[in-house]
Amino acid sequence: MWEARAVTGRGPELLEWARARAAELAGEPLRREFLRAAQDRVLVITWWDADPAAALPELPEPAPELVTRAVHRWRFESVAAVESADGF
């Protein structure tokens, strides 16, 4: 998981930057999802068919003038997935 906070008003630009960088990653994840939140935050979640300790491609740091702080990165391992009866 990759999360960054854009400079105020530059959230759409950060989102497009993240989409472009994700398309350049070495290898293709099983799934890739882009989310945005208040305060011009952008979140990218990728799912990989790999051991949690494996070396995986990561999105880089954006240019300093685009973000308010360093990117946060976390690795998670799926332990369960539950879908509602209507598929959402």
Give the whole-angstrom CA distance, residue 44 versus residue 65.
Answer: 20
Task: List, in order, residues 6 or more apart from 49 with CB less than 8 Å away.
Answer: 30
| Mean pLDDT score, 75-83 | 85
The most distant pair of C-alpha atoms in the chain lies apart, rounded to whole Å, by 45
pLDDT digits (tens, 9 = 90+) for 9-68: 999 999 999 999 999 999 899 999 999 999 999 999 999 998 888 999 999 999 999 999
Per-residue confidence at 85, pLDDT binned at 50, 70, 90? confident
Which pLDDT belongs to residue 41?
98
- Phi-psi region for residue 84, left (φ > 0), alpha (ψ -120 to 50) or beta? beta
Which pLDDT belongs to residue 53?
87
Tokens at residue 51, please? 């051991």
Which pLDDT belongs to residue 87?
64
Which pLDDT belongs to residue 51?
86
Which pLDDT belongs to residue 29?
93
